[in-house]
Amino acid sequence: MPTRAIQQLVPTLAVSEGAGVTVHRAIGTPALRNLDPFLMLDHFGSDDPDEYIAGFPEHPHRGFITFTYMLDGHMEHRDSMGNQGDLKSGGAQWMKAASGVIHSEMPRQSEGRMRGFQLWINLPASEKMAAPAYQEFAAAEIPEVADGDVRVRVLAGEHSGVLGAVRDPHTEVLYLDVGLAPGARFEQVLPVAHNAFIYVFEGDARVADTPLPTHTLAVLGTGDVVAMQAGASGTRFILVAGRPLHEPIVQYGPFVMNTREEIEQALADFRAGL
Ligand code: FE
């Protein structure tokens, strides 16, 4: 099988979310509606409290999983399952909203840097109305593989025989945070049928002969392995892959189902306080 090449480079779109938080959306825009099973990728990153202080007050989700990876900062999470999350630098949260969760995600800092990602992972039709579930891991609980010029944090999936902290049984998500010293190389085997992307958030890197600018999502083409090389300043990126569901997607804001009728039901249930 061939090495995966870059199929598409997708610039981010600045969007105001929550109560007025600036996020940079890379999946879920007109340029890339979704990348099955991924519905949305938002990168948030700012040293300016005005861009994050408003946070994300109570709001609902149904039909998918939210995966939050905190690079820098401190957020408090509360949800209708009774979870109180404390997300700090380097920590990760996997929340299976499924049949429905109402939650808030609010900053616990009034200055300094807030930086991270939120990924929405779709659920198969058979799981959309299942009971919600929750996994949260602090930085120290996330396995790290350090090998010379390469440092890999294994959030989900497997790298070099090391299993990630988060278990995603539905679409077998791989989620790695990879740091490379200048000129260092990195390879990862990926299941051929899985969709995958890279998002460089520091420095510069390339895949084969294609340079990857920072803050640009790179959709990977078909193949069974991806090979990266860092540029002169080194790089840090996330590599994410998952098994596509090949099911119809009907989205209305925070509800993602398979049919319009299911969306209407989600709205009716939310209004009724279910
Ligand atoms: Fe949310």
Cα(180) to ligand 1 centroid in Å equals 31
Cα(59) to ligand 1 centroid in Å equals 6
Cα(106) to ligand 1 centroid in Å equals 10
Asked if residue 198 is part of any domain, the answer here is yes
Classify the C-alpha dihedral 10-93-106-127 as positive or negative.
positive
Mean local confidence (pLDDT), 223-240: 96
**pLDDT surpasses 90 at 274:** no
d(C-alpha 215, C-alpha 12), whole Å:
7
User: Can you give the pLDDT at residue 153?
Assistant: 98
CA-nearest of 101, 112, 10 to 63 is 101
Structural domain including 208 reads: 6-97+104-271
Which DSSP letter does residue 35 get? B
Asked if residue 40 is part of any domain, the answer here is yes
Cα(30) to ligand 1 centroid in Å equals 21
Cα(107) to ligand 1 centroid in Å equals 13
Cα(103) to ligand 1 centroid in Å equals 6
Q: Residue 60 belongs to a domain with what CATH number?
A: 2.60.120.10
**pLDDT surpasses 80 at 1:** no
| Strand bridging mode 6-11 / 216-220 | antiparallel
Asked if residue 50 is part of any domain, the answer here is yes
Rg (CA), the chain: 18
**pLDDT: is 254 or 273 the higher one?**
254
- Average pLDDT of the chain to the nearest whole number: 96
Beta-carbon contacts of residue 269 (< 8 Å; ≥ 6 apart): 62, 100
Mean local confidence (pLDDT), 194-207: 96
Count of the separate structural domains present in the chain: 1
pLDDT confidence band for 188 (50 / 70 / 90): very high
Cα(61) to ligand 1 centroid in Å equals 7
Cα(267) to ligand 1 centroid in Å equals 16
User: Can you give the pLDDT at residue 172?
Assistant: 97
pTM of this prediction exceeds 0.95? yes
Cα(126) to ligand 1 centroid in Å equals 22
Asked if residue 111 is part of any domain, the answer here is yes
Q: For 63-121, how does the pLDDT look when each residue is reduced to its tens digit (9 = 90+)?
A: 999 999 999 999 999 999 999 999 999 999 999 999 999 999 999 999 999 999 999 99
Asked if residue 238 is part of any domain, the answer here is yes
**pLDDT surpasses 90 at 208:** no
Asked if residue 1 is part of any domain, the answer here is no
Mean local confidence (pLDDT), 43-68: 94
Beta-carbon contacts of residue 159 (< 8 Å; ≥ 6 apart): 145, 152, 174, 176, 188
User: Can you give the pLDDT at residue 209?
Assistant: 83
User: Can you give the pLDDT at residue 211?
Assistant: 93
The full DSSP string for 168-227 is -TTT--EEEEEEE-TT-EEEEE--TTSEEEEEEEEEEEEETTEEE-TTEEEEE-SSSEEE
Share of the chain above pLDDT 70, in %: 100
Cα(120) to ligand 1 centroid in Å equals 9
b/e map 166-186, b = 16+ CB within 10 Å: bebebbbbbbbbbbbeeebeb
User: Can you give the pLDDT at residue 273?
Assistant: 84
Asked if residue 21 is part of any domain, the answer here is yes
Which amino acid would we find at residue 43?
H
Place of tokens 């519905």: 39
CA-nearest of 51, 21, 15, 43 to 217 is 43
Cα(273) to ligand 1 centroid in Å equals 17
Cα(184) to ligand 1 centroid in Å equals 36
Residue 122: exposure state from Cβ atoms within 10 A (0-12, 13-18, ≥19)? buried
Asked if residue 61 is part of any domain, the answer here is yes
Q: For 131-173, how does the pLDDT look when each residue is reduced to its tens digit (9 = 90+)?
A: 999 999 999 999 999 999 999 999 999 999 999 999 999 999 9
